[in-house]
Structure 1
Amino acid sequence: MEKEILEQHPIIYKKIEEEKLSIRNIENIQGDEADIVIASVIYDHTTNISSTYVARDGGKNALNVAISRTRDKMIVIKSITSKTIKNAKSSDFVTFKNWFEFLDMSEAEQKAFSKQGENKLEEIYGESDSKFERDVIEFLKANLLTVNKVKNN
């Protein structure tokens, strides 16, 4: 694919070389940061999704890393919908399915969904522990992601 991009789309290739654009499947984004990340989540009808990297134990962390690799925008190209994902039992698999439910929403639905708890963060979780934590929460809210702070006990 890289050769095709180089030959047919030299401007896109230049952006990849400048680390402005990254094109990866969701399972190998780890460590590749770019302004815009195009992530593919492509499975055929025979794939046992529960055995994929992001749906197994630890997959929630891998999904978090993949999503956090983008500086400005993430574009997800997918071959399945949340309705395709059956029997989500582990918390990592449920997180993967929930992400897909969000991706399946229209842009207006995503914005409305994201604003639901926007003003309740401090009410629910108390004050943020650090400037970094507040910055992360503000970044997530600005980029239409649902924010759930995990309390360490």
Structure 2
Amino acid sequence: MFYASVLFQTVGFKNNASLLSSVITGIVNVSSTLVSIYAVDNVGRRVLLLQACVQKFISQIAIGVILRFHLNDTNSLTKAEAIVVVLLVCLFVMAFAWSWGPLGWLTPSETFLIETRTTCFAFVVSSNILLTFLIAQAVKLSYQ
């Protein structure tokens, strides 16, 4: 999500189209989070998490294959390939938004004992923020 507009520019979208694609993924994120609110108690946390792992893995592999073998020397894809990449990114965002995104906050609050919940949850949040920062910096370095 941090680098969605950069990714979409890389696959051939112009500046405005790149921003529009980021808006589209944001809308997908919000609507998929609403799916999670309904499904978490009806389907179960484990099913959502495992299903999302598979969906995210497949979408990332497909994006990687397309970019590896079809991104030409001018750093652009055909229009059809670029649309497929946007759809795959949306599938990834969907999987994250109905599983690991919200459940990463819900599950720790249900896991720890009441006596240690505050300290443990602080550790979970701190770890999450630190690792997000490190991943963002690693991606930033790879674009330079």
Using structure 2 for the length normalisation, give the TM-score. Answer: 0.27
By percentage of residues, which structure has more strand?
A: 1
Structure number with greater CO (CA < 8 Å, separation at least 6) is 2
Using structure 1 for the length normalisation, give the TM-score. Answer: 0.26
